[in-house]
Amino acid sequence: MRECYDSEAAWGSDNEYCSDITRNDEGNIVKTLQREHNLDELTARGYDVVATYKYDIGSYGNLSFKLDYNHIIENSQTYEGLDGNSVTSQYAGYGRSKDKAAMSIVWKVDDLRIRWRTNYVGAFKASQEDEKDYLEYVAANDERCAAGDAGCITNPEPLAYQDYGSFLKHSLSASYTLALTDKSDLRVFGGINNVFDDKGAFYPSGRGNFYSGYGGGAGRYVYLGAQYSF
């Protein structure tokens, strides 16, 4: 539809994209034929950093530290239309954060293991298209205000459900392995996921109004289990 109605290429029967759009006698669109065209270029750039450190505390076992960090530099799509113009859309920071990290501290002494894990998701904006439309509306409103138009809104509301701040989720787990015989052992484990029961901000476009990057609405829950190996 963009290539038919919103490009410098002539629209009509000579435009193959217009021919793929079918309307009824009242002018309503009843069918759009989706074809495969090799017109796009997708570019993704970023980096991952992993740091680990292990510290021996003698008879008290050892402490292990680990940090995983991911940063997105670019996530873009370049589209070349029929009119020869190329449009590049930058998606980094829209729909998902540019930054994601996980940090863990593990204390291990003999057969006891205790781990604290923290997951981090950086700030992001929900929709690039919504923000683009909103900024166009604001610019048009500014022009009305400058011209003294009665339709001017002096204090327009910010775009709702667009800006999301950073998010942290903490989890605690523990396990203990007991040797029963030379060829069998019993491991007892348990933990608390999302210790502080933080589900994140209201996210209307997600499943159940929760953002999947925050855990999809899963609040605090406790688990306990045992594993027998022989």
As a whole number of angstroms, the distance between CA 146 and CA 221 comes to: 55
Q: CB of 132 within 8 A of CB of 87?
A: no
Residues 148 and 170 in one domain: no
Q: Is 216 a member of any domain?
A: yes
Q: What is the pLDDT of residue 87?
A: 72
Q: Is 147 a member of any domain?
A: yes
Residues 107 and 195 in one domain: yes
Q: Count H helices and E strands in the chain, helices first.
A: 3, 12
Residues 99 and 211 in one domain: yes
Residues 195 and 106 in one domain: yes
What Å distances lie between residue 128 and 69, 90, 96, 142, 208, CA to CA? 25, 9, 11, 21, 22
Q: What is the pLDDT of residue 80?
A: 79
What Å distances lie between residue 77 and 43, 99, 100, 106, CA to CA? 6, 20, 22, 41
What Å distances lie between residue 146 and 17, 60, 85, 132, 159, CA to CA? 40, 71, 33, 21, 22
Q: Is 214 a member of any domain?
A: yes
Q: pLDDT (tens digit, 0 to 9) for every residue of the chain, 230 residues total?
A: 878 887 777 777 778 888 889 999 999 999 999 887 777 888 999 999 999 999 999 989 999 999 999 999 999 888 877 777 677 778 889 989 999 999 999 999 999 999 999 999 999 999 888 999 999 999 999 999 999 998 899 999 999 999 999 999 999 999 999 988 888 999 999 999 999 999 999 998 767 889 988 988 889 999 999 999 99
Q: Is 141 a member of any domain?
A: yes
Residues 6+ apart with CB under 8 A from 83: 7, 8, 9
Residues 29 and 61 in one domain: no
Total count of residues recorded for the chain = 230
Q: Is 86 a member of any domain?
A: no
Q: Is 185 a member of any domain?
A: yes
Q: CB of 221 within 8 A of CB of 193?
A: yes
Tokens of 122: 């950086």
Q: Is 105 a member of any domain?
A: yes
CA dihedral sign of residues 118, 123, 127, 130: positive
Q: CB of 170 within 8 A of CB of 118?
A: yes
Residues 156 and 180 in one domain: no
Q: What is the pLDDT of residue 206?
A: 63
Residues 179 and 200 in one domain: yes
Residues 205 and 113 in one domain: yes
As a whole number of angstroms, the distance between CA 184 and CA 187 comes to: 10
Residues 170 and 195 in one domain: yes
